[in-house]
Amino acid sequence: MNILATILIVIIFIVVVISKFKIHPFIVLLLSSVLTGFLIGLDGSELIQKINEGFGKTLSSIGIIIAFGSIVGVFLEKSGGTAKIAKVILELIGEKKSPLAMNLTGIFVSIPVYCDSGFVILSSLNKALSKKTGIPLTVYAVALSTGLYVSHVFIPPTPGPLAAAAVLGADLGLVILWGLALAIPVAFVGYLWGKQFDTALDIEKTDDNISTEKLPNEVNKNSLYVFLPIFVPILLISLQSLANYPSQLFGSGILYNLLHFTGNPIVALFIGVLLASKLITKKITVDTRLEWVSNALKEAGIIILITGAGGAFGSVLKAGNIGQVLASELSDLQAGIFLPFLLAAILKTAQGSSTVAIITSATIIAPLMNSLGLQDDVSRALTVLAIGAGAMTVSHINDSYFWVVSQFSGLDTKSTLKSHTIATLLQGITAISILSVIQFIMS
């Protein structure tokens, strides 16, 4: 019970310091590591050693991947690739179902681009479509925000699920495949909720005269080319997972070795960077391209540091054998993947950041995987997604994404709570329900 009390104290500490005192999550997670170390009786030198080990080990596994993913995202954003993706999907589905088109666009765009950036980029298209079709902007706002959100919490190389997969030892290819399968129905739930708003809520009147013809048009090659930086890395990573199956689908010769190499996340994302760089036309100067890469690395650096701090926290937890103690305390609790979901939901709702909620939850859950009956490959992948489901439940006023959706859609706070926030609650509940059924079938 002392260990359980320690975990509770540390969770409360994380929530209060981040949400009330507005201290950066990187600092908070390192402070939490120190606090936990002293509470479980580690001496100073051992504590520092474990923090360094956990930090370094985590960054060595995913630091480069996050950096490459950020570069792909920035290139797609700056080149107009994300807007081009939206236009392609819109042309395929048609204007009458344009909110659904924006929902699907969100799923694809948010794989390499952070959800808040994706919403900012595509908000002008939302407004243009609303004016053209007469469909309230609220419908488009919820459809897009919920589509973007699912990839943000479910599909690597988005940093949150990528870090969780590393911490829990989950197969990255399985996480991607199950994440893609889960993302579609969960995004559709958000779209259905958005459709409930047949009349606009408290929309601010704007004089924006935005036309779909004015979307960025600097993308090189044809429209389908913009999808390659997203799908080629995902395909390569997924093929590596299939190649590593005991059934040896691709044998054990040259093809296997090739897929094993190109499917390594670092190699796959580097190929994605090369494909994304081909989107840039000759009109863009070399200095501008270098600036884009620098901005991407700055953005990635923050996430990498938070992830590393999460790894340090996990290393301290393992040093105190917290996993064994919690396993014995929770051995009779048949919670399965519901416990990771609940923990992430509490952290998300309390402090606002989905990425922090995912990393912290994965760190705490990692020592409990065996006692929860989640030790096989599929269960580990489903646990990553369960944590992601909790980390989207719910997005409200302490979440920066909430305010991006609100401000770029002309919604007041009350209206955003009714539309976006309730949508994320329904998405989280839907996701854990689907995952529970999958776990029951697979067990």
Model confidence at 300, in pLDDT bands (50, 70, 90)?
Answer: confident
Give residue 130's pLDDT: 85
Q: Which residues contact 249 (CB under 8 A, 6 or more apart)?
A: 242, 243
Q: Which of 8-12, 48-52, 250-254, 345-349 tops mean pLDDT? A: 48-52
- Residue 171, pLDDT > 60, answer yes
Number of structural domains (the chain) is: 1
Give residue 217's pLDDT: 44
CA-to-CA distance for 190 and 199, rounded, in angstroms?
17
Task: Show the 3-state SS of the chain.
Answer: CHHHHHHHHHHHHHHHHHHCCCCCHHHHHHHHHHHHHHHCCCCHHHHHHHHHHHHHHHHHHHHHHHHHHHHHHHHHHHHCHHHHHHHHHHHHHCHHHHHHHHHHHHHHHCCCCCHHHHHHHHHHHHHHHHHHHCCCHHHHHHHHHHHHHHHHHHCCCCHHHHHHHHHHCCCHHHHHHHHHHHHHHHHHHHHHHHCCCCCCCCECCCCCCCCHHHCCCCECCCHHHHHHHHHHHHHHHHHHHHHCCCCCCCCCCHHHHHHHHHCCHHHHHHHHHHHHHCCECCCCCHHHHHHHHHHHHHHHHHHHHHHHHHHHHHHHHHHCCHHHHHHHHCCCCCCCCHHHHHHHHHHHHHHCCHHHHHHHHHHHHHHHCCCCCCCCHHHHHHHHHHHHHHCCCCCCCCCHHHHHHHHCCCECHHHHHHHHHHHHHHHHHHHHHHHHHHHHHHC
pLDDT > 70 in the chain, percent: 90
- Residue 38, pLDDT > 50, answer yes
| Structural domain range at position 283 | 2-442
Region 2-17 average pLDDT: 81
Give residue 334's pLDDT: 65
Give residue 94's pLDDT: 79
* Residue 420 C-alpha from the chain's centroid: 17
- Residue 92, pLDDT > 80, answer yes
Model confidence at 10, in pLDDT bands (50, 70, 90)?
Answer: confident
Give residue 247's pLDDT: 67
- What mean pLDDT value characterizes the chain? 84
pLDDT > 90 in the chain, percent: 30
pTM of the model: 0.76
Region 344-349 average pLDDT: 87
Give residue 203's pLDDT: 43
- Residue 141, pLDDT > 80, answer yes
8 Å CB contact between 39 and 75: no
Give residue 362's pLDDT: 92
Q: Which residues contact 250 (CB under 8 A, 6 or more apart)?
A: 239, 242, 243, 256, 259
Looking at per-residue confidence, does 145 or 325 come out higher?
Answer: 145
Q: Which of 207-221, 347-361, 429-443 tops mean pLDDT? A: 429-443
Region 237-249 average pLDDT: 78
- The per-residue pLDDT for range 281-297, each reduced to its tens digit, is 767 888 998 999 999 89
Looking at per-residue confidence, does 389 or 239 come out higher?
Answer: 389
Model confidence at 425, in pLDDT bands (50, 70, 90)?
Answer: very high
